[in-house]
């Protein structure tokens, strides 16, 4: 068995070497990301063919692969909170958002919530067209165990009213939120940074010399933070290779085949929602193909890593490549981590509600049920964590508000990772779409930058 592990590690090192060689030959970042994705899928399938998904050889090999894959994700998560904080604060010190910050915030949040409502309607339609019902899924040990965990989680939030949940967004201890300790930490950091920014503007009017000194400190910290982001982003092709290899190698193909209809219905809904994003950009007079090309690296990372928070640095960089100002890009990216996630907080809980409703004698196709479900999904999308598990949290909130059995949210546990990959990519796409549309509406979008052929190239910034 040890020999097989060494063989697998040797192959992984060779593949990583291929990506390193491509980098030395100055092959574009996007092509290297695509190559890492493809190599990961092929290598993962080969591991599936030669070993069982839970065999010791796979488990031990993946444990080593995680040094590259999970290590890369941890580096990204490491920089998320500093990036959110310093970028929003620098937007004030650089006078980029101060004149219409209220309008920008309302637009971004409005677009996120509006697209989440649309996503809920798409989820309802997909579950109905595919005739999905909870009774069609056999509950095994894994499903029952997952249901118990969800019930326990619900016990920690069931006594909180909507006003109390809104209060959770306010940073009572900003230093705690800078650690990302709470599901709403990102929004809380945004609020804290905005207060500091407004305080800076007040000081600038009365004590300009102090404000100038503070602005220089913020500008220096911003430059250093962005340098760290660039260094981490250069690791993206390697991280995607390792993450995709692990995902494919450890997937339960039998469960995927058994629940193929549910997986298919989920991806149909996710694809339709992504097409809605492209349609919105088209209606705004923007070329959706340009968006597709430039967004590919961040969407492929979100797909493989299943973390919207980890994708934030790539998200912001991509928006800037698409002509969005740094301030709006940071607001859209940051808000998108905890508000209006189209995949996790929109499509997924809506589909679950339609599937589960018949088990308690409720007709999910009545206009009143549909209208209430869409409204509940949109409202509940506040404060959903941008890391793995956010979809479960959103489902708990929606199912409890609709008086549906919470534990049944664990029915799709065996195919959850596969579905979550698509959900996360749609979340990130929705976040970027809100930033682009907000820039277009406010007249802030650099159309020349949007149309340029260049895509995300982190080496150019080194």
Question: C-alpha 295: how far from its chain's center?
Answer: 13
pLDDT value, residue 5: 87
**Helix, coil or strand: residue 157:** coil
CB atoms within 10 A of CB 315: 30
Residues 67-78 pLDDT 10s: 999 898 888 888
CB 262 within 8 A of CB 137: yes
Among residues 50, 30, 10, the alpha carbon closest in space to that of 318 is found at 30
Q: Return d(Cα 119, Cα 377) in angstroms, integer.
A: 9
User: Is the Cα dihedral 187, 193, 197, 198 positive or negative?
Assistant: positive
The encoded tokens of residue 312 equal 């934030």
Q: Write the secondary structure of 58-125 as one string of H (helix), E (strand) and C (coil).
A: HHHHHHHHHHHHHHHHHHHHHHHHHHHHHHHHHHHHCCCCCCCHHHHHHHHHHHHHHHHHHHHHHHHH
pLDDT value, residue 156: 52
Burial of 178 (0-12, 13-18, 19+ CB in 10 A): middle
Among residues 418, 445, 168, 182, the alpha carbon closest in space to that of 322 is found at 445
pLDDT value, residue 43: 93
Q: Return d(Cα 379, Cα 381) in angstroms, integer.
A: 5
Of the chain, the percentage scoring pLDDT greater than 90 comes to 32
Residues 399-421 pLDDT 10s: 878 888 876 666 666 677 788 88
Among residues 145, 152, 426, 460, the alpha carbon closest in space to that of 303 is found at 426
The encoded tokens of residue 34 equal 């695509």
Q: Return d(Cα 233, Cα 393) in angstroms, integer.
A: 29
Q: Return d(Cα 317, Cα 310) in angstroms, integer.
A: 13
pTM for the whole thing?
0.80
Distances 171 to 81, 178, 183, 203, 461 between C-alpha atoms, Å:
14, 10, 12, 22, 34
CATH 3.40.50.2300 fits 2-461, yes or no: no
Which residues of the chain fall below pLDDT 70?
53, 95-99, 135-162, 165, 183, 254-255, 258, 383-390, 407-414, 453-462
- Where exactly are the structural domains of the chain? 2-461
Q: Return d(Cα 83, Cα 88) in angstroms, integer.
A: 8
CB atoms within 10 A of CB 70: 17
Among residues 273, 316, 279, the alpha carbon closest in space to that of 427 is found at 273
Distances 371 to 171, 351, 378 between C-alpha atoms, Å:
33, 14, 11
pLDDT value, residue 379: 83
Among residues 19, 70, 79, 35, the alpha carbon closest in space to that of 314 is found at 79
């Amino acid at each position: 068995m040890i020999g097989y592990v060494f063989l697998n590690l040797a192959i992984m090192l060779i593949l990583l070497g291929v990506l390193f060689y491509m980098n030395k030959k100055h092959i574009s970042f996007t092509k290297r990301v695509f190559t890492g994705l493809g190599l990961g899928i092929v290598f993962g399938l080969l591991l599936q063919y030669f070993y069982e998904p839970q065999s010791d050889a796979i488990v031990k090999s993946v444990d080593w692969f995680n040094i590259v894959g999970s290590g890369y994700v941890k580096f990204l998560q490491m920089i998320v909170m500093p990036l959110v904080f310093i970028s929003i604060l620098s937007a004030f010190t650089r006078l980029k958002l101060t004149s219409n910050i209220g309008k920008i915030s309302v637009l971004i949040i409005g677009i996120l919530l509006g697209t989440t409502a649309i996503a809920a309607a798409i989820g309802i339609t997909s579950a109905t067209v595919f005739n999905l019902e909870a009774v069609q899924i056999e509950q095994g040990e894994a499903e029952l165990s997952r249901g118990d965990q969800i019930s326990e989680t619900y016990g920690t939030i069931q006594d909180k009213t909507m006003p109390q949940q809104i209060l959770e967004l306010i940073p009572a201890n900003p230093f705690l939120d800078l650690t990302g300790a709470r599901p709403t930490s990102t929004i809380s950091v945004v609020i804290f940074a905005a207060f500091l920014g407004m305080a800076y503007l007040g000081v600038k009017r009365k004590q300009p010399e102090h404000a100038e000194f503070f602005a220089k400190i913020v500008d220096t910290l911003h430059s250093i933070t962005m340098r760290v982001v660039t260094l981490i982003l250069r690791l993206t092709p390697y991280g995607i290779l390792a993450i995709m290899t692990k995902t494919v190698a450890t997937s339960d193909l039998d469960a995927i085949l058994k629940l193929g209809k549910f997986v298919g219905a989920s991806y149909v809904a996710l694809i339709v929602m992504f097409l809605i994003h492209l349609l919105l950009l088209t209606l705004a007079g923007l070329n959706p193909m340009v968006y597709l090309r430039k967004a590919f690296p961040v969407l492929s990372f979100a797909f493989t890593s299943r973390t919207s928070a980890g994708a934030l640095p790539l998200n912001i960089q991509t928006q800037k490549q698409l002509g969005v100002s740094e301030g709006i890009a940071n607001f859209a990216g940051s808000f998108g981590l905890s508000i209006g996630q189209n995949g996790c907080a929109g499509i997924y809980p809506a589909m679950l509600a339609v599937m589960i409703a018949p088990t308690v004698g409720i007709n999910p196709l009545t206009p009143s049920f549909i209208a209430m479900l869409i409204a509940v999904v949109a409202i509940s999308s506040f404060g959903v964590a941008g890391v793995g598990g956010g979809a479960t949290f959103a489902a708990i909130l929606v199912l409890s508000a609709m008086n549906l059995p919470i534990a049944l949210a664990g029915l799709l546990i065996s195919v959850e990772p596969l579905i979550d990959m698509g959900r996360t990519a749609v979340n990130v796409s929705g976040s970027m779409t809100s930033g682009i549309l907000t820039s277009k509406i406010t007249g802030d979008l650099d159309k020349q930058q949007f149309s340029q052929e260049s895509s995300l190239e982190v080496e150019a910034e080194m």
